[in-house]
Amino acid sequence: MNATTTAVVAEQFDDIQQQHSAAKLGMWIFLATEVMFFGGLFLAYTVYRFTYGHVFALASRHLDDVFGGANTAVLLFSSLLMALAVRAAELDRRKQLVRLLLATALFGILFMTIKGFEYRKDFVEHLVPRFDFRWDGSDAANAELFFWIYFALTGLHAIHVTVGIALILVLALLARAGKFSPNFMPVEITGLYWHFVDIIWVFLFPLLYLAGHR
Amino acid sequence: MNTSSNATTTIVRHSGAYALDNYLTAGQGVKSWLLTTDHKRIGILYLWTILVFFLIAAVAAALMRIELLTPAGDLISSETYNKLFTVHGVLMVWFFLIPSIPAVLGNFVIPMMIGARDVAFPRLNLFSWYLFVAAGALALWSLIHGGVDTGWTFYTPYSTTYANSHVISMAAGIFVAGFSSIITGINFIVTIHKMRAPGLRWFRLPLFIWALYATSLILVLATPVLAITLALMSVERLWGVGIFDPKLGGDPILFQHLFWFYSHPAVYIMILPGMGVISELITCFSRKRIFGYAWVGCSSMAIAVLGFIVWGHHMFVSSQSIYAGMIFSLLSFLVAVPSGVKVFNWTATLYKGSITFQTPMLYALGFIGLFTIGGLTGLCVATLAVDVHVHDTYFVIAHFHYIMVGGMVMAFMGGLHYWWPKITGRLYPEFWGKLAAMITFIGFNLTFFPQFLLGYLGMPRRYHAYPPEFQMLNVLSTAGASILGVGYVLPLIYFLWSLKRGRLAGPNPWRATGLEWQTSSPPPVHNFEATPIATASPYLYDAEADRDLHMANA
């Protein structure tokens, strides 16, 4: 679990295989906790979409499909880059690993930039609950609830993306110093985390942006 | 376990010895403790930390019991009383009970029981203790700055809108403590999966390991839900609107669903480890193999799984659908099945065993009785119609204290006495141990049994004043609490005394069969001289052989 360990097997393990499989299992269990963490908000979304389906559909149409769609593509592509980075680490191709990690991080940053512009647009269109929310038509309160959940879900996701970018940049630095040459496990488990963040978005996009489409 | 096969373990089996080269002497000074990654030392760090929180929460309980001596609210105001039961609940649940057996005894013995040198992620293990301390600091900050008056349940909309107290900082403390639990849970699961000694198959694992595996599953799957729930509640309090807010069409009951989705499984975080300890104690002090090993192990898993689908029984009177109530009631009854399996198997283990009544065994026997009462009254409150009558009364208080205190705390004390010689290399004084165990048992029953009656007669919980006809039972309860206090202070004194003056224990004072007893006391830094190999069940107790040995010695 620690990015700075070199090839040396930690003293509590018998061999590198045991260390690898322990690290991988640890990360999978952590991802299970993350699923449950997001699960609370997904449950809230589900309950209220059932209760206020019509308003949620109307509200969903105020979100910009272009921003959302572009971000989906950006994040999926960054996941591909991450998978290639893990492959490069396994094959001990140091230069390629550094470049792929930097590219992954770059696409992560691109995602956050697009998200930032989108938040700005939401603000200009008075879609921010509590601070500046205006809604023409009935059921304004329920629409506000939709946008509250929208900001909570995408905000929580954005925090995870930011953590992921930071981790990947640290990995890139360490990779340049040749830290992962036989122990590529830190790259692999960070990759798992990055794919998880990606998958969360894959669920967020249809639930939030496409709920209003017929 | 490997008594017959493993030559390496026999080297240290001379009795009365104190291993000089051990984990306690491996480093000196505060720094060697604060930077340790040794699971045994981290267990001890947790022990001191939870002791602090236990004492604070116990003082809160004592103040409440003193207030309840008289019907009038004459000692403390109702606001102070609200804050007292909140701090008592929050600290006891998240800062004492949840880390008690897992983080103290679990940290200490899990790697030793499975023949490992340490947990899978030792640095994360230390990190989780630091998180726990940070969380405790946040909780204490909230307490010192005026406390919280929402109760440990933080129900909305009171917590989000109306409470004038430090809700957010307390919730933040619990959030961070949850992170600490999650890390501990991940560490235990990975350790149990990946670090077992050669030959230690799943059905050769000690039942304590099964119990803590089940506990860890709950820790990692339920705690994140509490984290998001408390985060959403805090954000709603901060911003003024949120998903539990009726102004937006939000539903405060959703908070209760999410809260109990964590907090009911959390009840099993607070009892499963205790059951694991009792399984070890009963078999050791009956000198008999545990009856129905696989059933006891699997019932831990069954309790963990069922724990996730019964949360609605906390919400029978919350306007939840009556059909949901019926289903939750039925599912809650099902929990009695694996719990009953355990109690019957422990009883069957006792049957015709060569029982000795040493201190750990007294706690274990106390546990069985008290847990049974707590469990059976659990069926009462899981019954829809009865619950409508006793909901939010002292009946519920008595019920869950029989599980939490009569169950988990008794098991924790039993386990602490049992493994104390392993932890410190010295024995506690047996006479005082037995005395404290009996005082605890008597004091506990006198404290909480009257509360069943109070609740049945209709005294609601969380009030600092009450009608005069309830005074007699309240006085009994307060008297019991003072006896219970003596039962807890005594071990504190003689445990500290035994650190320097206690009789040397030797590697295996109980002639127990688990792997943790096959190494010196206190254990060396890496637990074993050589990795042990398991060839059979962990419970090869044989009363006949014991008797022969006894005769030969005589």
How far, in Å, CA of B476 to CA of A21, rounded? Answer: 56
Residues in chain B with CB shorter than 8 Å from the CB of A48 are 243, 249-250
Q: Which residues pair with A132 in a beta bridge?
A: A128
Q: In chain A, which residues touch B (CB < 8 A)? A: 1-2, 10-14, 18, 21-22, 25-26, 29-30, 32-34, 36-41, 43-44, 47-48, 51-52, 129-130, 141-142, 144-145, 148-149, 152
**CB pairs < 8 Å spanning A and B:** 110
B241 in contact with A at a CB cutoff of 8 Å?
Answer: yes
Is residue B26 less than 8 Å (CB to CB) from chain A?
Answer: no
| C-beta atoms of B235 and A52 within 8 A | no
Q: Does residue B198 sit at the A interface (CB-CB below 8 Å)? A: no
B14 touches chain A (CB under 8 A): no
Given a contact cutoff of 8 angstroms between Cβ atoms, the answer to whether B111 and B527 are in contact is: yes
Q: Which of A1, A40, A142 has the CB atom closest to B225's CB atom?
A: A40
Tell me which of 2.40.128.20, 1.20.120.80, 3.40.50.2030, 3.30.1490.20 is the CATH number of domain A16-209.
1.20.120.80
**Which residue is associated with the tokens 């006391």?**
B521
The distance of B224 to chain A (nearest Cα, Å) reads 5
Q: Kindly report the number of other CB atoms within 10 A of residue B195's CB atom.
A: 22
User: What's residue B549's pLDDT?
Assistant: 67
Position B3 scores a pLDDT of 40
> Considering only CB atoms, which chain A residues are within 8 Å of B225?
36-37, 39-40
The runs of H, that is alpha helices, within A52-139 are: 53-60, 65-90, 94-124
At residue B4, the pLDDT reads 39
% of chain A beyond a pLDDT of 90: 83
CB contact under 8 A, A22 and B182: no
pLDDT tens per residue, range B99-117:
999 999 999 999 999 999 9
Distance CA A46, CA A146 (A): 11
Asked if B247's CB is within 8 angstroms of A142's CB, the reply is no
pLDDT bucket at A182, cuts 50 / 70 / 90: confident
pLDDT by residue (tens digit) across A39-59? Answer: 999 999 999 999 999 999 999
**Chain A nearest C-alpha distance from B186 (Å):** 6
Say whether A25 and B189 touch across the interface (CB within 8 A).
yes
Across the interface, whether the CB atoms of A33 and B224 are under 8 A apart is answered: yes
Among A22, A30, A36, the residue with its CB nearest the CB of B194 is: A22
| Pair A135, A52: CB distance under 8 Å | no
Reported as a single tens digit per residue, the pLDDT across B253-287 is 999 999 999 999 999 999 999 999 999 999 999 99
Query: Is B199 in CB contact (< 8 Å) with chain A?
Result: no
Name which of A29, A131, A133, A192 to mutate to probe chain B: the one with the most chain B Cβ atoms within 10 A of its Cβ.
A29
H helix runs in B286-393, sequence order: 293-307, 322-350, 359-382, 384-390
Contact state of B189 with A52 under an 8 Å Cβ cutoff: no
Backbone angles phi, psi at B243, to 5 degrees: -75, -10
Write out pLDDT tens, residues B178-193.
999 999 999 999 999 9
CB contact under 8 A, B240 and A37: no
pLDDT-derived band at B245, boundaries 50, 70, 90: very high
Q: Distance of CA B499 to CAs B13, B52, B425, B427, B522, Å?
A: 22, 19, 8, 9, 12
Q: Tell me what the mean pLDDT of segment A79-103 comes to.
A: 95
B442-451 tens-digit pLDDT: 999 999 999 9
Put simply, whether B352 touches A (Cβ < 8 Å) is no
Say if CB A165 and CB A108 are below 8 A apart: yes
pLDDT at B537: 87
In a mutagenesis test of the B interface, which of A148, A153, A192 is the best target, namely the one with the most B β-carbons within 10 Å? A148
Q: What percent of chain A has pLDDT over 70?
A: 96
pLDDT band at B19 (very low <50, low <70, confident <90, very high): confident
- Are A29 and B119 inside 8 Å of each other by CB? no
DSSP state of B510: T
The nearest alpha carbon in chain B to A32 belongs to B221
DSSP state of B94: I
Q: Is residue A67 predicted with pLDDT exceeding 80? A: yes
Average pLDDT of chain B to the nearest whole number:
93
The chain A residue lying nearest B37, using CA atoms, is: A12
Nearest to B258 among A1, A2, A40 (CB): A40
Contact B113, B514 (CB under 8 A): yes
Q: Which of B156, B143, B145, B164 is nearest to B89 (CA)?
A: B143
Return the pLDDT at A4: 44
Can you give the pLDDT at residue B554? 59
pLDDT tops 80 at residue A181: no
Nearest CA in chain A to B528: A12
Position B11 scores a pLDDT of 38
Q: Is the pLDDT of residue B51 over 60?
A: yes
Q: Which of the four pLDDT bands, split at 50, 70 and 90, describes residue B5? A: very low
Given pLDDT bands bounded at 50, 70 and 90, which one contains residue B164?
Answer: confident
pLDDT band at residue B550 under the 50/70/90 scheme:
low
Residue B244, CA distances (Å) to B234, B241, B252, B315, B404 in order: 11, 8, 5, 16, 30
CB B83 within 8 A of CB B149: yes
**For position B281, what pLDDT does the model report?**
97
Structure tokens at B400: 């869950």
Q: Please tell me the distance from the alpha carbon of residue B475 to that of residue B470, in angstroms, as a whole number.
A: 9
Mean pLDDT in chain A? 93
Q: What pLDDT is stored for residue A160 in this prediction? A: 98
Q: CB-hemisphere CA count at 13 Å for B374?
A: 25
Q: Do B232 and A2 touch (CB under 8 A)?
A: no
A36 has a pLDDT exceeding 70: yes
First to last CA, chain B: 26
Contacts of B229 in chain A (CB under 8 A): 40
- Is the pLDDT reported for residue B9 higher than 70? no
User: In whole angstroms, what is the distance from residue A177 CA to residue A94 CA?
Assistant: 9
**Chain B residues closer than 8 Å to A51 by CB:** 249
- C-alpha–C-alpha distance, residues B106 and B119, integer Å: 10
Under 8 Å between Cβ of A149 and A41: yes
Question: What's the mean pLDDT in B43-51?
Answer: 97
Confidence of residue B378 (pLDDT cuts 50, 70, 90): very high
Q: Check A141 against B247: CB less than 8 A apart.
A: yes
Q: Is A156 helix (H, G, I), strand (E, B) or coil?
A: helix
Q: What pLDDT shows up at residue B12?
A: 41
Contact B189 A29 (CB under 8 A): yes
**Chain A residue closest to B116 (CA)?**
A12
Residue range A17-31: average pLDDT?
A: 95
Rg of chain B in Å (alpha carbons): 23
* Contact predicate B523/B19, CB 8 Å: yes
| Structural domains in chain B, sorted by start | 33-553 (1.20.210.10)
Q: Judge whether B224 is closer than 8 Å to chain A, CB to CB.
A: yes
Measure CB to CB from residue A32 to each of B220, B258, B526 and give the nearest one: B220
Q: Are B428 and B505 in contact (CB under 8 A)?
A: no
